[in-house]
């Protein structure tokens, strides 16, 4: 486990973007697992800036996203497909055929989950997976549970997750109650994992995830067992760790 401390959101974003850019430069055909939410926005802004300066080339990069709301069309402004195109894909030279996000409109959950797992396998797996940390310790949309889910699946979103995400909607009643998400097993098969965490509100759950027992009740705790896991976090998020 590698931990990098940042003194601001901007510094955290730049340090994380450095790790992703190094992956692209070392392997221009790499498969990136990408995340959404407020934490990665600064990372994507930095990557776009470097692309505009001709420091990065996305022409052969392939991407797979962690998750997507179930029931939202890809053109819905609150969908993760829309989010990724708005913050990254439309601003770099990535090929549309190389962008992969679960289809939130596929009503056949078993079919969609099976296809997404087969897709990831067909790409040779994920070279680097970017993660955020949910307020209850979830990664992707893998909520606290009594077991670790191995593969891509449909999940009922916890109230804490709905509450955290309602800021992106007009009100909480509009937040979808289900999502497609990579399973814990899918995430853990990534060759490298990079997690970014910011803010004092995440300090306690981050401490539990990194220093207490590995348990599906804190899904992110499984990352203690990954052979190449890197955390980039700000001072506030690290405030309860003696590291």
Catalytic member of 87, 98, 103, 138: 138
Catalytic member of 67, 117, 127, 198: 67
User: Does the annotation count 118 as an active-site position?
Assistant: no
Cα torsion through 237, 238, 240, 243, rounded to 10: 170
Distance CA 135, CA 119 (A): 29
User: Does the annotation count 136 as an active-site position?
Assistant: yes
User: Does the annotation count 235 as an active-site position?
Assistant: no
Q: No. of H helices and E strands in the chain?
A: 7, 10
User: Does the annotation count 226 as an active-site position?
Assistant: no
Catalytic member of 65, 81, 98, 136: 136
In 70-90, which positions are buried (b, 16+ CB within 10 angstroms) versus exposed (e)?
A: bebebeeebbbbbbbbebbbe
The residues that are catalytic are 67, 136, 138, 143
């Amino acid at each position: 486990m590698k931990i990098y401390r940042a003194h601001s959101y901007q510094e955290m974003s730049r340090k994380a973007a450095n790790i992703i850019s190094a992956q692209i430069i070392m392997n221009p055909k790499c498969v990136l697992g990408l995340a959404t939410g407020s934490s990665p926005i600064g990372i994507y802004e930095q990557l776009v800036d470097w692309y505009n300066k001709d420091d990065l080339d996305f022409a052969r990069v392939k991407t797979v996203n962690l998750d997507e709301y179930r029931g939202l069309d890809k053109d819905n402004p609150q969908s993760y497909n829309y989010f990724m195109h708005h913050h990254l894909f439309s601003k770099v030279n990535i090929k549309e055929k190389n962008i992969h996000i679960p289809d939130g409109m596929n009503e056949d959950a078993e079919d969609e989950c099976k296809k997404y797992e087969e897709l990831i396998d067909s790409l040779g797996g994920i070279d680097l997976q970017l993660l955020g940390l949910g307020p209850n310790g979830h990664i992707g949309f893998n909520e606290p549970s009594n077991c670790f889910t191995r593969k891509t699946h449909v999940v009922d979103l916890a109230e804490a997750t709905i509450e955290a995400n309602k800021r992106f909607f007009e009100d909480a009643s509009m937040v979808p109650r289900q999502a497609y998400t990579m399973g814990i097993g899918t995430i853990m098969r990534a060759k490298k994992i990079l997690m970014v965490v910011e803010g004092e509100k995440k300090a306690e759950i981050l401490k539990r995830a990194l220093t207490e027992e590995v348990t599906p009740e804190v899904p992110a705790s499984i990352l203690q067992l990954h052979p190449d896991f890197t955390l980039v976090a700000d001072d506030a998020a690290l405030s309860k760790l003696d590291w």
